[in-house]
Amino acid sequence: MRARTRQAILDAAITVLGQEPTVSLGAIAAAADVGRTTLHRYFPERSELLRAVNAEVTARLERAVGLARLDEGRGIDALRRLTREYFDLGDVLSLIFNQPHLTAEVGWADPGVCDPRFETMVRRGHEDGTLDPDLPPPWVHNLLWAQLYAAYGYLADSDTSRHTVLGLLVRTVTGAAGVKSARIEE
């Protein structure tokens, strides 16, 4: 019924907008297997659809943060959990990267401010000696998102399994943000 159709539109919008941010409403409707008229009935204006997409993405991100239990264990372990949860977001990653203005307050844009829970996690990692103390929390936030996007693209374009890509991702995020015990001299 209503809720079902609405969700189908939102899912299709997330997928298609992530690939082509300026895609027409007709194309979104087609991707959702729905008539353009129906789409207009649920979201009279494009901006309203975008707001709804924003809300949906925000909710999914929030859920991922909750599942990652950022306040438990060592900083690096929490960061690894968050990496895995974010990686599972799929199409949402592409959307967040291609429409930073759409999901600005929640995503990776505006490095000066990042989620306080994330910041607390990184600072804990600084203190427990598992995260590189020279990297400010917003930088870690940025690098995590960058590598997530790289991993998602790698998954789409190369024929590597999801599991393998996740392994590579966690390994490089750990190397990038983790404390360097014996750094190779410049």
User: Where on the chain is the footprint of a second copy (CB under 8 A)?
Assistant: 21-22, 76, 80, 98, 108-112, 130, 132, 134-136, 138-139, 142-143, 145-147, 149-151, 153-154, 157-159, 168, 171-184, 186
| Strand, helix or coil for residue 58 | helix
Rounded to whole angstroms, the Cα distance separating 122 from 146 reads: 17
The residues of the shown chain that bind DNA, judged by CB under 7 A, are 1-2, 5, 24-27, 33-38, 40-42, 44-47
Inter-residue contact 28 to 20 (CB < 8 Å): no
b/e per residue, 27-64, with b = 16+ CB within 10 A? Answer: ebbbbbebeeebbeebbeeeeebbebbbebbeebbeeb
Judged by beta carbon distances under 5 to 8 A according to partner kind, the member of DNA, a second copy, none in contact with residue 163 is none
Judged by beta carbon distances under 5 to 8 A according to partner kind, the member of DNA, a second copy, none in contact with residue 7 is none
Judged by beta carbon distances under 5 to 8 A according to partner kind, the member of DNA, a second copy, none in contact with residue 51 is none
Residue 92 Cβ vs a second copy, minimum distance, rounded to whole Å: 17
Judged by beta carbon distances under 5 to 8 A according to partner kind, the member of DNA, a second copy, none in contact with residue 176 is a second copy
